[in-house]
Amino acid sequence: MKNFKSKILSQKSIALGYMEMKFSWPEDCETPKAGQFLTIKIQEQPIPLLRRPFALSAYNQEEKSASIIYQVRGTGTEILSSMKDGETLDVLSPLGNSFTMPKKKETPLLVAGGIGLGPILYFARELDKAGYSPILVFGCRDKSLIPDLPPLKNGRIQFCTDDGSEGFHGSSVDYLNCLDSSELKNAYVYSCGPTGMLKACHNFAVSKNIPSETAMEEMMACGVGACMGCVVELAEGQEKQYARVCKDGPVFQSRIIKWT
Amino acid sequence: MDLSIKIKNKTLPNPVGVASGTFGYGEEYAPLTDLSKLGAIYTKAVTVEPRPGNPLPRLVETPAGMINSIGLANVGTKGFLEEKIPFLKTLSCPVILNVAGSLEEDYAEVIRRVDFQDAIWGYEVNISCPNVKHGGLAFGTDPVQVERLTSTLRKLTDKPLIMKLTPNVTDITAIARAAEAGGADAVACINTVMGMVVDIHKRKPAIPAGTGGLSGPAIKPVGIAAVYRVSKAVNIPVIGLGGIMNADDAVEYLLAGASALQIGTANFIDPDTSGKVLAGIKKYMREAGFTKISDFHGYF
């Protein structure tokens, strides 16, 4: 990990309230992996005070750039969304762990909701490049929240809307339940999004007896494992009661999480 | 320019340390700042047995601050000795162990078990944590208990003993005098200020414990006032902390009577704050014609 200054290369709206920002990545900083995140110091003034965490949504080795997808939902992200190309970001990255590559014979089922799309999209493209046939399922309320995404070469992207205004009518997990048993035979579930969706993905994976990883989100202060603030509670039988999202995660085997 | 500060029989190389609970056990921040330049690392609190900490959520941001309710989550004394000391031994800066407990005996037991370790420069005794049900704040609000606890711990070690005081009292100078009377070598002012945020959408406190410890720039004036009053009430060094974000904040504390400082919440925003604060203090000293830290004292 490294604390570095980065130039904003581009910023655009990709869906209602959702932005994608691309920025430079330093030559001497390690290559980030899907699931890892960064924190951005929004400004010098003490309101907002804390750095803001964002999952990486892409990394371009040739261009030496990386991207995040974020939702504008508070003072920090409002300031971020108003920043222009060429402005400087204070970045701390790469932080946390990453998704595990599945075995060659496995079918990755990637489930995203809201800003959970960022890390899931990054992983889906990595898997696609590596020759897997990932199925990316993105669930949201209605079609205004659906971003325009380039298709995967070997896999596919499935949109699901609660109101049926585009794609599959129902939740992401409703869609998973409609999959053919042959697609589920060697499946591996990866999820990132709202807690309710993550829990549903976990329950789905347990019911089908397939492995499942989930990227968690919690309010964060340090981002490097020092403050013990961003913990999640672990299931009974685990060695510890809590794990740090920033250092032990954000990606966990879903079975070790205590889902309440 | 002499930046060193003497506490008991030992010397801190410079006044800028990093506060307990904001810097882990050093290792977490090693890739991001030069630990050898720190005046001291005040470790995450250590209790006799490991503690899982409080239920989540444990953090909430406030205007110019944050409230935490970590609940002294830590590896315990055995875990500290096995997992943390090997790294801390490699450091050239002083390592000050923050000691916490529920009972007087707990504090004593931690010191008994670790005092043989040369890597530990001294102790900061946490009698002011607002986030534990037993001990913590309860000790720090009663001068009689503070003097007795300090006196008990004094007998167990020859290393510097720093009592960390809470601002959540009517008269912090009475607590500071009690610590001095018990044999403390320094006092640290302040720990977090009790605060609360209510989630109006869920209609309940934002953190399960209800109240937590407020830190960050929002509490700086509280910390400076405490340092100012305590430094006039005792004859031992006062270590100032609470909302220091830059060199100007640090200079305020030094002019108010602090002999040394701790950077806390600012580490989360800029891991290299301590290095920048130290550089800024040196610049201020050059410009003001100061040659040693004690030159700051006595201006008002």
Best mutation site among A52, A227, A240, A260 for testing chain B: the one with the most B CBs within 10 Å? A227
B233 and chain A: CB distance < 8 Å anywhere? no
pLDDT over 70 (residue B132) = no
Contact between chains at A227 and B70 (C-beta distance less than 8 A): yes
Exactly one of B12, B129, B178, B261 is catalytic; name it.
B129
Task: Return d(Cα A60, Cα A67) in angstroms, integer.
Answer: 9
What burial class does residue B206 get, using C-beta atoms within 10 Å of its C-beta: 0-12 exposed, 13-18 middle, 19+ buried? Answer: buried
A227 and chain B: CB distance < 8 Å anywhere? yes
A41 and chain B: CB distance < 8 Å anywhere? yes
Task: Return d(Cα B167, Cα B80) in angstroms, integer.
Answer: 28
pLDDT recorded at residue A85: 97
What burial class does residue A151 get, using C-beta atoms within 10 Å of its C-beta: 0-12 exposed, 13-18 middle, 19+ buried? Answer: exposed
Q: Using alpha carbons, select from A183, A198, A144, A182 the residue that is nearest to residue A166.
A: A144
Classified as helix, coil or strand, B49 is coil
Q: Please provide the size of chain B in residues.
A: 300
Render pLDDT for A228-253 as a digit per residue (tens, 0 to 9): 999 999 999 999 999 999 999 999 99
**A46 vs B28, B44, B64: nearest CB:** B64
A3 and chain B: CB distance < 8 Å anywhere? yes
Residues 161-200 in B contacting A (C-alpha not used; CB under 8 Å): none
Chain A residues inside the 8 Å CB shell of B19:
none
DSSP result, B54-86: PPSP-EEEETTEEEE-----B-HHHHIIIIIHH
Angle CA A115–A121–A125, to nearest 5: 170
pLDDT over 80 (residue B129) = no
Q: What is the ipTM of this complex?
A: 0.94
B93 among known catalytic residues: no
Contact between chains at A49 and B269 (C-beta distance less than 8 A): yes
Q: How far is B15 from chain A (nearest CA, A)?
A: 22
Strands (E), A25-155: 37-41, 52-60, 65-71, 88-95, 107-113, 135-140
pLDDT recorded at residue A226: 97
B42 and chain A: CB distance < 8 Å anywhere? no
Residues 205-224 in A contacting B (C-alpha not used; CB under 8 Å): 218-224
Mean of pLDDT values over B173-202: 97
Q: Mean pLDDT in each 10-residue stretch from start to end of chain A (260 residues)?
A: 97 96 97 98 93 98 97 95 97 98 94 97 97 96 95 96 97 95 92 97 97 97 97 96 98 97
B29 and chain A: CB distance < 8 Å anywhere? yes
